[in-house]
Amino acid sequence: MVSFVSDYIAGAHPDVLRRLSETNLETMPGYGEDPYCETAKRKIRDCIGMPDADVFFLTGGTQTNAVVISTMLADYEGVLAAKTGHVSVHEAGAIEYTGHEVLELPQTEGKLTAASIRDYLDTYYGDAAHEHMTFPGMVYVSWPTEYGTLYSKAELEAISSVCREYHLPLFLDGARLGYGLMSPAADLTIRDIAQLCDVFYIGGTKVGALCGEAVVFTKSNMPPHFLTSVKKRGALLAKGRLLGVQFDALFTDDLYFRIGRYAIEMAEKMKKIFAARGIPFQIDSPTNQQFVILENAKMDALSKKLAFELWEKKDESRTVVRFATSWSTTDSDLLALEAALKEVYP
Amino acid sequence: MVSFVSDYIAGAHPDVLRRLSETNLETMPGYGEDPYCETAKRKIRDCIGMPDADVFFLTGGTQTNAVVISTMLADYEGVLAAKTGHVSVHEAGAIEYTGHEVLELPQTEGKLTAASIRDYLDTYYGDAAHEHMTFPGMVYVSWPTEYGTLYSKAELEAISSVCREYHLPLFLDGARLGYGLMSPAADLTIRDIAQLCDVFYIGGTKVGALCGEAVVFTKSNMPPHFLTSVKKRGALLAKGRLLGVQFDALFTDDLYFRIGRYAIEMAEKMKKIFAARGIPFQIDSPTNQQFVILENAKMDALSKKLAFELWEKKDESRTVVRFATSWSTTDSDLLALEAALKEVYP
Amino acid sequence: MVSFVSDYIAGAHPDVLRRLSETNLETMPGYGEDPYCETAKRKIRDCIGMPDADVFFLTGGTQTNAVVISTMLADYEGVLAAKTGHVSVHEAGAIEYTGHEVLELPQTEGKLTAASIRDYLDTYYGDAAHEHMTFPGMVYVSWPTEYGTLYSKAELEAISSVCREYHLPLFLDGARLGYGLMSPAADLTIRDIAQLCDVFYIGGTKVGALCGEAVVFTKSNMPPHFLTSVKKRGALLAKGRLLGVQFDALFTDDLYFRIGRYAIEMAEKMKKIFAARGIPFQIDSPTNQQFVILENAKMDALSKKLAFELWEKKDESRTVVRFATSWSTTDSDLLALEAALKEVYP
Amino acid sequence: MVSFVSDYIAGAHPDVLRRLSETNLETMPGYGEDPYCETAKRKIRDCIGMPDADVFFLTGGTQTNAVVISTMLADYEGVLAAKTGHVSVHEAGAIEYTGHEVLELPQTEGKLTAASIRDYLDTYYGDAAHEHMTFPGMVYVSWPTEYGTLYSKAELEAISSVCREYHLPLFLDGARLGYGLMSPAADLTIRDIAQLCDVFYIGGTKVGALCGEAVVFTKSNMPPHFLTSVKKRGALLAKGRLLGVQFDALFTDDLYFRIGRYAIEMAEKMKKIFAARGIPFQIDSPTNQQFVILENAKMDALSKKLAFELWEKKDESRTVVRFATSWSTTDSDLLALEAALKEVYP
């Protein structure tokens, strides 16, 4: 069955897999000390224009969030995040498992605002009893957000500026970074992001890799003995080459960006197909995740023809569902979508 | 300066201190195996009408919340609590330190409702991805709440009933239990609470002891080897007698209840004094904590005459402040309050 | 340079990589719900003769140890392990990070004995103050051990028997299981291990996979909501297929065992090469890791020709080094070893 | 029954209890901001001759060890301690609960040596794979040790010197500090200890208080926002006065030292009583804990007349037992001991 369930329904982009095959018999050191980790890091540093940035490869998104947040926070600190942020909702308490609180802020379409962050901080420090409360120690944003939306350059600058004023590192979860960067709605480049954030990651798992996220510390601020902290959290891969080779491939000949652009193009086409049938969108997403509202009976009918993801109940008779594109989405998949919709929404 | 800052501004109730003196030279085993811990437990069991309940003495409220919650939750579970609950706000992340998430629910005057708990649970279990989210594993309520309010018997029964339906233990934080029980507004007895909750504690620190909270497990549900888990959390007192003797005194001749009643009587008088000056209440609290709204200039003037606690900003020109009574509040304190208010609010 | 540094210096066994390529474009659900995870689990259950065993795929060894140990221990328990066990020494405190103590026991050639375990337990329970000490809650053994040695069937039966007597689960770390099973010195089969242990894992990373360990719970004892606990520890792979496809390949046509046998054959040849030059062994290892003692000057000379791993200082003038074989070791590698040794040890 | 079970069998020293009574009705702020905490801190600073030292009051020994160690270690670090150290054995895994490993070193009569610490560090940093192992981040010693023995000034200077060379803070557990300082065998003063250690604590619970330990940070090295970290661990007492008043009393008119001296004098008399009956000592302890070897049958007979603590099995027919003195030991207790021994060892 044609599937739009997520952007991780297929294996690796063929160019990534090919490089794994080509390098398979080479022998090399483990734990990230292989030459491909080195070249991948260099290519990422070149790409973001920061020759001194520290780059570290981890396996998945929840792991990356937990490792980064728990090694950068002080003992008495927690992380500010949108109430809908991945760390707040969909990580089964992975941040709390490290002993730190997620301080949830209100959000709009998955986004925080500089004003609400400042407000929180002012209220916190204005409270005489604040030493009995978790100190805010970091701001976490996702880009694109969990709803596919994007902070504009002005919005991220404003957030970054509040963070600097209060000496809080700004951490950007880029699990789907490639789709944000290639969205026509984006006015942020990867270099902007590197400038504005203290740490961010370039998602591989959802953008063409079998697994892997590249964490970038932009301010000479990688926690000391980070490898040991990673090991301690069970997150250090013995065959680090698996991550190095994949990111080396993704950052060769702009593959990472080409994957992003392709998925966005497919998403644009998909939006037109939904619009043509008059199906309403829950949110105006400019990236590869599209959230549409289906009547429950039609949703059931559609689910017999196509795979997609239930997102949330809209009301008694309607449901929000997600359709995602990726490098593996084909034109024939879209034709199948069009045909199925025509039948269900004649 | 006369102080209404909190209910823990003085030492121990004289009868409690007297018993500490009388028993001081007796030699006895440590770690809670002394005869006073035994008699105190028996008196508490008698008082709640549960001869088989397990009772364990801990030192303070945040400690008790963290120990109880972390030993009763399964690995994959978190605790549901009001957004204003003590565990949500004022414990510096003590629950998260144990690796567990506090799942915050909306509240009214510090209280949860059975409906909102049920709603949360239905949404959670209705979400196809719920296994990627923290399981709700317990419900935490405070009685009285952080705002001095009380759940009625009907409200607590409804919450207890939802909890049982979903097999969630109900935990009641009774740091100020004595003030709730003796409030004229209360229609719950300590026996009702013991019946409706799976675990609760009888607060000593804020109700006449130097320190100490008595945790009661009502359903033969004390976690196995609880003493070892308490020790592991650094919460086992070597001279357990300090807690045993105090609770033995508090549960002799109804002292715990007499302390509660006295403080409530003083609070009733205090409310009249505020009302007489036309000072508005932030909330209608039937217990020993009173929250009034002061204009900032008058608040400053008053703070030169009396000690009280800043609670939160009401708006640009007004502040909510707390005045608390306890066994140590005297009629002369109230006269001082009356005099000071007359000067500031002529 | 020819390398004997470890058994994870190359990528995946070609048959494993081929299956990743063949299945790459298939779309499937994430998080381990794909069909390959299912068939891989079935093949493992068939192989061990336990149709009802629970199997779960994780990414690496330290991660697996931490996840298994922390989800199976009670709050007040720790894990018994050899002082030289991987969990005791080489995981940067990963077990302690989960809040549990590793209780270290003396060892011989990397192995525990049933007698020393029983001794520990008797002393522990015989101590009147044992409730102030961590309860022993599990026994951890590695097979092969960190020194390449193997427990005999009689030895593992004796340990298993003590464990059952004291109601302690027995956990076997099989990071290198394939090399143990195919050693001529082994009198244990994988079915024996499944019978004798409560939980064990079949190492993939060091036996032909890019990454991956298959945890087997043999007694209907997989912790409840294990997936959520895995997610909470940042150990749940989005593209679970990466593990499913690899283990499906490893358990097709006995590939896992063929890899093991091949590496053992190469190790046997390697032992003869060392013996022919009169180079002493630190330990008599019947598996794929060989530990030899080199004079420091000769070691330096050799290290210019071949890569191997420094293990530990033997004395002022000599060092213990490790040479490992795997599926990727070739006859030409052994010829290079022979030639290099001839030059250095003429 | 006359008891020598421990040094915490009675309540507080009468002078301490008297001060609690005298100050009981004074109202004051909570959480350690009361005037008695201030004066107690000043008196301790004066006593150790360090006007700038930071002092913080906690409730008990295990709690203090866990709070100090976990707030001073970096994420990737563990603490070096004697295999017999309190943190290694008798805290039910309290240090591991904070996510940190206790790195156990061999000991003699409860003591570490500078040489064995240096050895450990050299081996650790000499290991090429040391980044996969817990970094040594602190040295923990007890003074007196768990066996009642004392480091000499030369020994502690040597340890302190190794610590400084390797930039490791030295932490001294002074749960029984007063007994060490007043031992005729001690050549260390409290000022020496303050100079040689980075952090240490002055034990109250076992030296005359109902509860309480005074942690002293000697090098302007109190962890930032320490109060919040203490709160987060459930270790912040609401009525901090309970600790402040007691330590104020203990450091008034040398009470702390007088308690220590008295207990030592009683211990000296006790030693003579044992020696007179030819009862062998397990260890030559110069402090208030005495460890003697009893034949099991005689031990049983004695236990019907006196209370003491079983320590450990000596061999099949003999047991090591502990007798402790404190401020509450009386001459009549010693007469009872003498009489009982005469009967059992005629």
What is the DSSP secondary-structure string of A122-152?
HHHHH-TTGGGSPEEEEEEEESS-TTS----
Residues of chain D in contact with residue C95, where contact means CB-CB under 8 angstroms, are 96
What's the rounded mean pLDDT across residues D194-206? 98
What's this model's pTM, rounded to 2 decimal places?
Answer: 0.97
- C-alpha span between D159 and D141 (Å, rounded): 10
> Which residue pairs from D184-188 have beta carbons closer than 8 angstroms and sit at least 24 positions apart in sequence?
D184/D264, D184/D268, D184/D286, D185/D150, D185/D286, D185/D287, D186/D150, D186/D286, D187/D152, D187/D153, D188/D143, D188/D150, D188/D151, D188/D152, D188/D153, D188/D156
Report, as an integer, the average pLDDT of C247-270.
Answer: 98
Could you say which of A12, A25, A66 has the minimum Cβ distance to residue C24?
A: A12
C99 touches chain D (CB under 8 A): yes
What whole-number percentage of chain B has pLDDT above 70? 100
Q: Encode pLDDT of D246-275 as tens digits.
A: 999 999 999 999 999 999 999 999 999 999
Residues of C in contact with B137 (CB under 8 A): none
Give the pLDDT score at C159.
Answer: 98
Confidence of residue A224 (pLDDT cuts 50, 70, 90): very high
Q: What are phi and psi of D302, to 5 degrees?
A: -65, -35
- Supply the pLDDT for residue C189: 98
- For all residues of chain A together, what is the average pLDDT? 97
Interface of C with D in 126-155 (CB under 8 A): 126-129, 131-134
Quick check: D147 and D285 in contact, CB under 8 A?
yes
Q: What is the mean pLDDT of residues D37-62?
A: 98
Q: With an 8 Å Cβ cutoff, are A133 and B89 in contact? A: yes
- How distant is the Cα of A176 from the closest Cα of chain C, in angstroms? 13
Which pLDDT does position C55 carry in this prediction? Answer: 98
Distance, in Å, from the CA atom of B75 to the CA atom of B93, rounded to the nearest integer, reads: 17
Q: How far is C188 from chain D (nearest CA, A)?
A: 31
Give D49→chain A minimum CA distance, Å.
30
Rounded to 5 degrees, φ, ψ at A98 are: -85, 0
Which pLDDT does position D128 carry in this prediction? 86
Provide the shortest C-alpha distance from residue D130 to chain A (in Å): 9
Identify the CA nearest to C172 among candidates C192, C183, C184: C192
Q: Percentage of chain C with pLDDT > 90?
A: 99
Q: How far apart are the C-alpha atoms of C10 and C8, rounded to whole Å?
A: 6
CA-angle at A64, arms to A58 and A67, nearest 5°: 105
Tell me the pLDDT tens digit for each residue of C11-68.
Answer: 999 999 999 999 999 999 999 999 999 999 999 999 999 999 999 999 999 999 999 9
CB pair distance less than 8 Å for D75 and A75? no
Average pLDDT over residues D84-108: 96
Does A194 have pLDDT greater than 90? yes
Residue B128 reports pLDDT greater than 90 = no
* D162-186 mean pLDDT: 98
pLDDT above 90: residue A128: no
pLDDT tens profile A32-62: 999 999 999 999 999 999 999 999 999 999 9
Helix runs in chain B, H state only: 14-22, 35-48, 61-72, 86-89, 94-97, 114-126, 153-165, 177-181, 190-196, 226-232, 241-250, 255-276, 296-303, 331-344
- Name the residue facing B93 among A78, A90, A128 (closest C-beta): A78
R_g over Cα of chain D: 21
8 Å CB contact between B232 and D91? yes
- Average pLDDT score, chain B: 97
For A298, the 3-state DSSP assignment is helix
Q: What percent of chain B has pLDDT over 90?
A: 98
Residue A242 has pLDDT above 90, yes or no: yes
Whether residue A315 lies within 8 A of chain B, CB to CB, comes out as no
- Band the pLDDT of C323: cuts 50, 70, 90: very high
DSSP state at residue B132: G
CA distance D38 to chain B (A): 16
Kindly report whether the peptide bond that precedes residue D223 is cis, defined as omega within 30 degrees of 0: no
Closest CA to D126 of C311, A208, A275, B62: C311
Tell me which amino acid residue C280 is. P
Q: Dmax over Cα atoms in chain B, in whole Å?
A: 63
Distances (CA, A) of D177 to C247, C342, D85, D206, D207: 59, 64, 15, 9, 8
List, as one string, the DSSP characters of B18-73: HHHHHTTT----STT-SHHHHHHHHHHHHHHT-TT-EEEEES-HHHHHHHHHHHHS
Which of C97, C100, C310 is the closest to D93 by Cβ? C100
**pLDDT (tens digit, 9 = 90+) per residue, B36-81?**
999 999 999 999 999 999 999 999 999 999 999 999 999 999 999 9
Q: CA D126 from chain center: how many Å?
A: 33
A91 touches chain C (CB under 8 A): yes
pLDDT band (50, 70, 90) for residue C128 = confident
For C186-251, where are the E strands, in sequence order?
199-203, 213-217
User: What is the per-residue pLDDT across A145-154, written as a single tens digit (0 to 9) for each?
Assistant: 999 999 999 9
pLDDT of residue C32: 97
Q: Does C234 contact A66 at a Cβ distance shorter than 8 Å?
A: yes
Torsional sign, CA C56, C60, C62, C66: negative
Cross-chain residue pair B234–D239, CB shorter than 8 Å: no
Calculate helix-pair angle for B241-250, B14-22, nearest 10 degrees.
130
CA pair distance D205, D64, nearest whole angstrom: 12
Residue of chain A minimizing CA distance to D71: A75
Q: Are strands C213-217 and C54-58 parallel, antiparallel or unpaired?
A: antiparallel
CB atoms within 10 A of CB B275: 12
* Contact between chains at D94 and B5 (C-beta distance less than 8 A): no
For residue D46, give the H/E element and its range: helix D35-48
Neighbours of B129 (CB within 10 A): 12
- pLDDT band at residue A211 using 50, 70 and 90 as cut-offs: very high
Q: Is D78 on the interface with C (CB under 8 A)?
A: yes
> Mean pLDDT over residues B259-275, rounded?
98
- pLDDT exceeds cutoff 90 at B297: yes
Q: What distance in Å separates residue A33's CA from the closest CA in chain B?
A: 32
Chain B residues near residue A313 by CB distance under 8 angstroms = 123, 126
Instruction: Please enumerate in sequence order all residues whose Cβ is within 8 A of that of C270, keeping only pairs 6 or more positions apart, or say none.
Output: C4, C290, C323, C325, C334, C337
Token pair 């149709």 in the structure block, residue: C51
Taking residue B296's Cβ as centre, other Cβ atoms within 10 Å add up to 14
Residue B303 pLDDT grade (very low, low, confident, very high; cuts 50, 70, 90): very high
pLDDT band at C8 (very low <50, low <70, confident <90, very high): very high
- Say which DSSP state D3 is in: B
Candidate from C99, C132, C225 with C-beta closest to B76: C225
pLDDT at C212 over 90: yes
Percent of chain D with pLDDT over 70: 100
**pLDDT greater than 90 at residue D315:** yes
pLDDT surpasses 90 at C292: yes
Q: Is the pLDDT of residue A90 over 90?
A: yes
CB-based contact C143:C177 (threshold 8 Å): yes
Specify the range with the lowest mean pLDDT, choosing from B3-12, C131-140, D122-131, D192-201: D122-131
Cα dihedral across residues A44, A45, A50, A55: positive or negative: positive
**What's the pLDDT tens digit per position in C141-188?**
999 999 999 999 999 999 999 999 999 999 999 999 999 999 999 999
Q: Give the pLDDT score at A179.
A: 98
Using an 8 Å Cβ cutoff, are A213 and A175 in contact? yes
Q: Any bridge partners for residue D102, and if so which?
A: D79
Q: Which residue of C has its CA nearest to D88?
A: C133
Residue type present at position D304: K
What value does the CA radius of gyration of chain B take, rounded to a whole number of Å? 21
For A229, nearest residue in chain D (alpha carbons):
D76
Confidence at residue D72, expressed as pLDDT on a 0 to 100 scale: 98
